[in-house]
Amino acid sequence: MKRWFAVLALASAPIATSCAFLLDFDDLQGGEGSAGSDGGKSCTADPECNDDNPCTEDRCDLTSNTCVNDARVVVRDGEPRTMDVAVAHRVSVVASGARYYVAAFTEDELQTPDVPLYWLDIKTDTWTPVGSLQSASQLSFPPASNAALVVDTSGGVEVHAYVALLPDPGQPGRVYHARMDASLAVQAAEQTDSAFNYGLGHPERMPVTWQLADNKIYGAWVSPTGSIFFHALGPLPELTELTVDPPAEIVAPAGIGSTPALFWVSDTLHAGLPNKTPGTIPECGAGGGAWVSAQTSFIEYQNTWLASWTRQGANKQFVSELGTFGCSDTANLCAGPPSPACDPSPVRPDTRDVAAQFYRRPSEPTLLYQILAIPTVDVGGNTAALGLTLREVDTEPDGGAVKPLDERVLSTTVVGTNTAGPDWPAVAVADPEHFAVAWVEPGAQGGRQSVRLERFRVCYDNVK
């Protein structure tokens, strides 16, 4: 028993200093930020109120017919992109230094599934619809999931995708891997296994893919029986089935250095290295309710990961929570903190499907930046929204200070059928000055939906 707790402490040692990453949900109460400065021009003279400053948002104050130029830390960068569809289940967005890449799992009015692909040039604002992923001859089957994307820039730009397809409509899905060039043209594709080993029934779920420090790429997904399939790319790709008990429902990436690991939910939260004894990640909430989602993101601080998960109770209320965990390749273990940071509580009712990303600036090596996209659902108030916040965390040993830099609401709708609202956000960081958020936007009164993409510039000179 003493050895178990010693190993647990080793695996979770970084976590005691990372509780700052958990206390984020209330940051979105600040609305749209500063009131801005009076540009002095009339809107009649300049209807666009453009001051040629990329770090302001320009608008017309209709009351005074005067231009206002809002100086913000997070500034909208170009026009939003909207892809109208009959039904949108899920969206993915990733970035190279030059482009954002988008995939979405959609259906048309005849319930025909599709995974359309897009890329957007960050500098020139060129928006390019590529067509369907399954238009490649090797992938010409109906999709059963969205495509999980990861960008490999270790030898040029390659975009890798893991997607579940339906070669036989009477069988479960089969997961395929595709390698695409910088314009999303499929260069190679193959099935990861001849078996039908992808579980159906939740179109909002999907395989996951990630890249570790040695640039090797991995994929994972949950089978119809609740086992986890783990796929390692390479000259000779390796596929491993991990039987977990209780069966898994959702899987997410993890790892330490160049050693891969997995995070999954079943009866509770688990994380572990493949074929090693998993650790349990504690919850601050009471638990219970159906699993809706689980995501992870690498904090880039002492080999710590941030996990977010959402449950939905019998009363249809969504409850989300954030927690940290770490992995040790010497102890062959992943674990959360022995005593999770539950005061103040990271549990937030009426939030769901949180997306997070972290990054650093080369000029500020002790500072870590955290982006959070948080969907909220207030059934009583009949309002659903998607909030965005950017925070700065001081990682000095005596630091730990957290500074909210900007926060805003990206979308607000009424609560639609089946608690529909802005949902399933994904965040991609192109460089320390540019990031994007994509999400599923509901249609009015149960009508057509859309996939939305908004881009942002980070203006550090506007930090107060």
What's the pLDDT tens digit per position in 176-217?
999 999 999 999 999 999 999 999 999 999 999 999 989 999
Instruction: Give the number of other Cβ atoms within 10 Å of residue 194's Cβ.
Output: 8
CATH number 3.90.1580.10 is the correct assignment for the domain at 2-462: no
Q: What is the pTM of this model?
A: 0.91
CA distance 235 to 230: 16
CA distance 236 to 369: 37
Q: Which residues of the chain have pLDDT under 70?
A: 1-39, 398-400, 444-446
Q: Residue 401: what pLDDT?
A: 80
CA distance 259 to 273: 8
Q: Residue 28: what pLDDT?
A: 47
Q: 413-444: per-residue pLDDT in tens? A: 988 777 889 999 999 999 999 999 999 999 86
Diameter of the chain by CA atoms? 76
Q: Residue 441: what pLDDT?
A: 95
Q: Show the beta-strand stretches assigned E in 54-168.
A: 56-61, 66-71, 74-76, 81-85, 87-95, 99-107, 113-114, 116-121, 127-132, 148-152, 158-165
CA distance 1 to 245: 22
Closest CA to 58 of 71, 46, 49: 49
Please report, as a single letter, which amino acid is at residue 117: L
CA distance 83 to 172: 29
Closest CA to 262 of 310, 229, 291: 229
